[in-house]
Structure 1
Amino acid sequence: MFQLQSKPVIVTLEIAPSDMARFNTLRELYFPSHANYLEAHLTLFYRLPGMEAVIPETLQQYSRRAPMALQVNGIVNFGTGVAYTLYAPALEALHKKLQVAFEPWLVRQDRQPLRPHITIQNKVTSFKAAQLHAQLSATFTPFDITATGFGTWEYLRGPWKALDKFMFQE
């Protein structure tokens, strides 16, 4: 059960474990080990107030739905790392609804349109990021993964502490 937190809460999209295994393996291979203290994840909101009961209530409400198919449609080099991008119109629509519900508490970053991605490399030189991007892009074929719910996390100045999950169920 979700407990109200004095610290900000991060909201992620839960992905089927069998789908996330691929991204976690790549993250272990390519993310600098000194900075790799998280598993692969897809962040929906970076900073929501942990003391607002409406946050878990809203996530519970919007989890009353079927699991959602997402297409991993590309690989992006963002300068200091590499991420897989997702084509997910249903997720983007859901995110917009959550933005409306959370509007009073959104920080600037959380007000932006969602650009869903899963980072597998970060905190490297632009040369290393370009190398990995070229290597992965050479054999990339789009594939589907399944979103299964929402996760909430407490930020601990590096690692995150899992708080609760709101699994999709019709």
Structure 2
Amino acid sequence: MAEAPLILTLRFDEASYEYFEALRRQHFPPERNVIPAHLTLFHHLPGEKAPEIAATLREAARQTAQIPLTVTGLRFLGRGTAFEIAGPPLAALRRDLATCWQADLTPQDAQGFRPHVTIQNKMPADEARATYEALRAAFMPFEATGTGLLLWHYRGGPWEPAGTFPFEGG
């Protein structure tokens, strides 16, 4: 039997994480809100390669400084809303990791990277549109910080922590 796949997300500074998490608790259907607010870097890495993936992440985090990010706007998802995130160092880190793991990437992970944090999904379209419009009317761009990488096991339900890799670079 194959190992459970791995998911890699960005860890945020505490204030940004709490902001996104509060909005997710407010707007996500409670029965579907089983994982924390997150920015996914890779959706499906091979679980059987967890030790090698963790070693790559330890080295990448050791060399990476905290990443300045700008929350630039909102994206309507049809049945939800996400915050769009910009940060050239984040895109570069993700590109470098994708190069390392190129042979193991799923089509979803091999395609372009559009960083975002989903705070609502799987809602009726009219409710989703109302949330999007309300958030968009009050939106002002703001800064956040990527402070590390979080690796998770995906076994069909809530994600299980598989590793934390704080950025240590200067």
Q: Distance in 1 between matches of 2:70 and 2:22?
A: 19
Deviation at 1:7, TM superposition (A): 1.3
- The correspondence for 2:26, drawn from 26, 29, 32, is 29
Deviations 1:121-169 (A, max 9, x none): 0110111111011100101000010101111101121310111101100
Deviation beyond 2 Å, 4+ runs, structure 1? none
- Say which SS state the counterpart of residue 18 (structure 2) adopts: helix
Q: Which residues of structure 2 form unaligned runs of 5+?
A: none
Deviation at 1:88, TM superposition (A): 1.3
Q: Distance in 2 between matches of 1:37 and 1:156?
A: 12
- Say which SS state the counterpart of residue 94 (structure 1) adopts: helix
* Other-structure match for 1:60: 58
* Other-structure match for 1:127: 126
- The correspondence for 2:3, drawn from 3, 6, 31, is 6
Deviation at 1:58, TM superposition (A): 1.1
Q: Which amino acid aligns with 1:85?
A: E
Indicate whether 1:91 and 2:105 are aligned: no
Q: Which residues of structure 1 form unaligned runs of 5+?
A: none
Aligned 1:8-157 pairs, distance under 5 A: 8-52=5-49, 53-64=51-62, 65-157=64-156
Q: How many pairs does the alignment contain?
A: 166
Identity of aligned residues (%): 38
- Say which SS state the counterpart of residue 129 (structure 2) adopts: helix
- Say which SS state the counterpart of residue 114 (structure 1) adopts: coil
RMSD: 1.1
Q: Which amino acid aligns with 1:58?
A: T
- Say which SS state the counterpart of residue 119 (structure 1) adopts: strand
Q: Distance in 1 between matches of 2:151 and 2:120?
A: 22
Aligned 1:158-169 pairs, distance under 5 A: 158-169=157-168
Q: Distance in 2 between matches of 1:57 and 1:75?
A: 34
Q: Distance in 1 between matches of 2:45 and 2:155?
A: 14
Q: Distance in 1 between matches of 2:115 and 2:11?
A: 13
Q: Distance in 1 between matches of 2:132 and 2:124?
A: 12
When normalised by structure 2's length, the TM-score is 0.94
Q: Distance in 2 between matches of 1:45 and 1:118?
A: 13
